Amino acid sequence: MDSEDAEDKMNVYVLGVSSFCSGLPFFPSFVLQYGADYLLVDPTANLSSAIRLCNKVSGSRLSMADIDACFISHIHSDHSSGAIDFAISKYYKEAKRGNRRPQFLGPAEVVDACWDLVLKGTLGVTFGSAVPDYQEIGLGFDSFFRRVELGVDGSPTRVGGLEVMLRKGIHAVKGGSYASKFRWNGVTVGYSGDTAPNMNGNDVPDVLEFLADDCDMIIYEVGGSHPVEGHTPLAILRSRIADYLSADDAARKVFLIHYPDSFLNEPLQVIPFQLIQPWHCYTVSRGRVEVGEPTPKGRNLLKAIMSD
Ligand SMILES: [Zn+2]
Ligand SMILES: [Zn+2]
């Protein structure tokens, strides 16, 4: 297979780009497609609606039924609440049709914290429909998901054909927050999750170094205006990037997410980086990222959603 073959490409379907207090729908969230497989990364709340909007804007045919796995960078609800939507859809709709439980990928401490602090309250009890008085039945993590624990030392964990590498970032959250790299057939997509840069000059390496090393596309959060808030402000990302990437590579590879709404109206202010566009589909191959044009209907939808 040569490098132009579709087998050497990954698709990134963007379900949401913004966080709390945004006027735009959906939290930072995307679906990776590699071959015939799909991985949901940081599931947004109202997941079905986000998938539908992405399909309308990008002309894609993404379907919840095709997504067989999810990964969560950390348990803050702008990154994890859609796991409830995902579990409910899979458990109450697909499992009844005999489909297997989806995989849930993450470090042990994130998976455990996600069940205990995000999912259990909604998913932990259901009613037994087979009994006449609808008795309550206790459910556990394994009722909904197949657990796939990922290594946390930066070396790859294989999940089917995919390799996943993690590095812990600095973020105030139970279970921690992890940057991730997803590699398939030599193509690598990286995602920062929420992380503050290391401002103390100690030995904790920046997540940026981990991602800049070998990613073809780097999806990086720029929430917040000061690192003590647990995020990477745009000005700090800009000042640090030169340690790891040339200006050309930064412009080509780094796509911002988790950004303020105002960035969409003034895209020049984010130079040298690119903004990841909401509900678009990106195709990533070795050394190259291409964005799909929205459909005519999608263009109208975007105009309606973005206008003040
Ligand atoms: Zn967070
Ligand atoms: Zn966040």
Ligand 2 centroid – CA 23 distance (Å): 15
Q: Which ligand is nearest to the CA of 75?
A: 1
Q: What mean pLDDT comes out for the span 132-144?
A: 88
Asked if 79 and 192 count as a contact pair (C-beta separation under 8 A), the reply is no
| CATH number of the domain within which 262 lies | 3.60.15.10
How many helices and strands in the chain, by DSSP H and E? 11, 17
138 Cα: distance to centroid of ligand 2 (angstroms): 30
Q: What is the pLDDT of residues 234-261, one digit of tens each?
A: 999 999 999 999 999 999 999 999 999 9
Residue 4 has pLDDT above 70, yes or no: no
Length of the chain, in residues = 308
Domain ranges, residue 151: 9-301
- The number of folded domains in the chain is 1
Query: Residue 142 C-alpha to ligand 2 middle, in angstroms?
Result: 26
Q: Is residue 1 part of a domain?
A: no
What distance in angstroms lies between residue 31's CA and the mean position of ligand 1's atoms?
19
pLDDT in tens, 41-81: 999 999 999 999 999 999 999 999 999 999 999 999 999 99
DSSP string, 173-214: STT--EEEEEEETTEEEEE--S-B---S-SS---HHHHHHTT
Q: Does a structural domain hold residue 53?
A: yes
The single-letter code of the amino acid at 47 is L
> Does the residue 2 lie in any domain?
no
**Is 150 inside a domain boundary?**
yes
How far is the first Cα of the chain from the last one, in angstroms, to the nearest whole number? 48
Q: Do residues 219 and 247 touch, judged by C-beta distance below 8 A?
A: no
Residue 3 placed within a domain: no
Cis peptide before 107, with omega less than 30 degrees from 0?
A: no
pLDDT in tens, 205-219: 789 999 999 999 999
Does residue 308 sit within a domain?
no
Cα 235 to averaged position of ligand 1 atoms, centre (Å)? 19
pLDDT beyond 50 at 157? yes
Residue 227: is its pLDDT beyond 70?
Answer: no
pLDDT of the residue at 97: 64
Predicted confidence (pLDDT) per residue in 78-101, tens digit: 999 999 999 999 998 876 667 789
**73 C-alpha to center of ligand 1: Å?**
9
- How confident is the model over 24-35, as a mean pLDDT? 97
Residue 204 tokens, joined: 């904790």
221 CA from centroid of ligand 2 (Å): 8
Average pLDDT over all residues of the chain: 92
Taking only the tens place, the pLDDT of each residue in 228-239 is 678 999 999 999
Q: Distance from the CA of 238 to the center of ligand 1, in angstroms?
A: 21
Residue 182 scores a pLDDT above 90 = yes
Residue 289 exposure: Cα atoms within 13 Å on the Cβ side = 25
Residue 124 lies in a domain: yes
Q: Is residue 39 part of a domain?
A: yes
Residue 46 Cα to ligand 2 midpoint, Å, equals 16
Q: How far away, in angstroms, is 4 Cα from ligand 2 center?
A: 35
Residue where the block lists tokens 């095709």: 66
